[in-house]
Structure 1
Amino acid sequence: MNWGGPAFVIALVAISTVGWLVNNWIRARHGYSVSDDWGKNIHKSDAEAARKIDLLAADNERLAGQISRLEDRIAVLERIATDPAERTARAIDALR
């Protein structure tokens, strides 16, 4: 084989192109983003996935608020449980 001839250059270009195509085919088949000619990823825009992410973010925010309220309530209950009986009775009467 003549390493300096045009056949070698064409073979290298063909091998590179086939490798890039196979790589992108495997990535697309498994759900990963494919890459363009310069190696940058091209992300798929999936409306349903974006909607799910928005719903999960809203649910996460709601749950974080609920957790902070429950932590405040637990702190009050711990304070009532550890305080002396007389002071606890006065605090409970004050809440009524």
Structure 2
Amino acid sequence: MPETVAIMVVLIVLITAVSGVMRAKYRAQHGIVEDEDGNTRHLVNPDADRMVQEIGQLKDRIAVLERIATDKGNRLEQEIEALRDKTHG
């Protein structure tokens, strides 16, 4: 009988520890932090909007470079000039 109680206590501690790790992993993945008072809040990256805009610009430039790489003729010079105008303008 005492062995059964010991096994149950160990299982309860193990289940509690595993659930704590799973909860911490979920919170970390979703940017949820807890302050010293126990209040939870979501982390917000202040540069997120700027980075999204920059990624959009980079995708546009890649699309132009892909067209340049696959096109032949006079368009090459025109596209290079257009890229120069975008970066300096």
Higher relative contact order (CA 8 A, sep 6+): 2
TM-score (norm 1): 0.39
Larger Rg: 1
TM (normalized to structure 2)?
Answer: 0.41
